[in-house]
Structure 1
């Protein structure tokens, strides 16, 4: 399965981008208090609509999303184009926003800044015993780098299932942080290693990222930087 992940830095809040938001999205944009949060939300929506327009052969200003949450009914769920053979995943961290798209196959994308620290409490919360053992003997910097390889892999598969953190992070085990991403074991029926594919991404300097797709097909992932 060939997948393109498109990355962007935060867009300016200009009319040419703002006009692509519908009324609900405008409301969400305005609800953010911090300018950085507004720009990340705007960029995610504009980037996702651009990708959707290309995949569906539509003008970008005709793409309308339904982001109704299946649990609570509020408009903060995964954006989708009703009736389209398309699944989207948006992720952002710091100054980087990404979008992945697949043909109606569950997909999850996650990106994190790589400058964060990984204390013992976070490691205990997120990693399975087998994964935590792989961090033994690493320096603090190496441990943080390895931890966020695991973290992005896990966040990506959580997003792909649509269950998020309702799946305990410790219940799943990935291959070593310095090996190609592969789900080795899962204690949750929503994730089966036989039908889960993961790839570590390059993203950008200072970031870690991963993509997960619930499929038996092998993945061929290309990363692009978007410049509107």
Structure 2
């Protein structure tokens, strides 16, 4: 079932299963470049994830900006090659405020979109919590080689690292093992844990928010505003 959530600071999430959405509406919302990308994506599952992600982003931005989803444009120009596979950027012309920043993530059974107020970068990542046993052992072992730590928490650490690298904008051009995490006491009365992250070559601190949605592990990285 589709879902949504609003976090502190105006950060919004929306998610849905790519097997269950209005493909006709999603296609209607696309711009010409997006439509060309959709047509060129021959794998139906990947195409559906692309269509659903662009629709979720538009719906979130339209709600935030008080406009129709048709008025929101989405571009994803790669900074290195200029192709349409970079970080998603929202554009609009009729809202009184600048558009939010955005991020997308997907796996086979969940697509999730995130937006944050203009000027605050955001990154989101998702992985299925469970996969077949042999594949899961290989997945966790590979993550431990990259990030260290234990196999028990490996998948959660991976989605956290990916979320941070997406928010940073360089993605996997930066070694995931360079993401440094800090856990401190937080919450009411000192209960719970607060997780932050940063990269050694950048001053930005990211607040991490973890969720479990529809059998998937989701992590959201939100850049802490500079003062």
Q: TM-score, normalised by structure 2?
A: 0.78
Write out per-residue CA displacement over residues 65-120 of structure 1, whole angstroms, 9 at most, x where no aligned residue: 22222221111112222363310111101110001110121100001112241437
2:173 to 161, 166, 172: 166
Distance 1:44 1:55, change over 3 A: same
8 Å contact kept, 2:61–2:99: no
Residue 88 (structure 1) aligned with residue 96 (structure 2): no
Cα distance in structure 2, aligned partners of 1:80 and 1:189: 24
Q: How many residues align?
A: 198
- SS of residue in 1 equivalent to 2:90: coil
Alignment equivalent of 1:157, drawn from 164, 167, 177: 164
Q: Which runs of 5+ in 2 are unaligned?
A: 1-8, 93-97, 184-191
Q: Secondary structure at the match of 2:209?
A: strand
Q: Equivalent residue for 1:182?
A: 195
Q: Mean Cα displacement is larger for which, 109-118 or 78-87?
A: 78-87
1:139 maps to which residue?
none
- Structure 2: distance between partners of 1:125 and 1:216: 33
- Per-residue CA deviation, residues 160-213 of structure 1 (Å, 9 max, x unaligned), is 00011122112223357xx74524664x31364xx22111112222x1110001
d(CA) in 1 for partners of 2:88, 2:126: 18
Match of 2:186 in 1: none
More contact order relative to length (CA 8 Å, sep ≥ 6)? 1
Alignment partner of 1:5 out of 4, 9, 13 = 13
Match of 2:210 among 185, 200, 206: 200
Aligned residues of 2:197 and 2:208 also touching (Cα < 8 A): no
- Could you list the structure 1 runs, at least 4 aligned residues long, displaced by more than 4 angstroms after superposition: none
- Which of residues 63, 82, 86 in structure 2 aligns to 1:73? 82
8 Å CA contact 1:125, 1:170 repeated in 2: no
Q: Equivalents in 2 of 1:202, 1:66: separation in Å?
A: 28
Conserved 8 A contact 2:12-2:60: no
Tell me if structure 2 keeps the 8 A contact 1:181–1:200.
Answer: no
Deviation at 1:12, TM superposition (A): 4.6
Cα RMSD for the two superposed structures: 2.3
Deviation at 1:124, TM superposition (A): 4.2
Matches within 5 A, 1:109-124: 109-116=124-131, 117-119=136-138, 122-124=142-144
**1:224 matched to which residue of 2?**
none
The structure richer in strand per residue is: 2
The whole-number CA distance in structure 1 between the counterparts of 2:194 and 2:142 is 21
Q: 1:125-156 CA distances to partner (integer Å, 9 max, x unpaired)?
A: 4214xxx2xx2xxxxxxx3x511110000000
C-alpha contact (below 8 Å) 2:75/2:88 kept by paired residues: yes
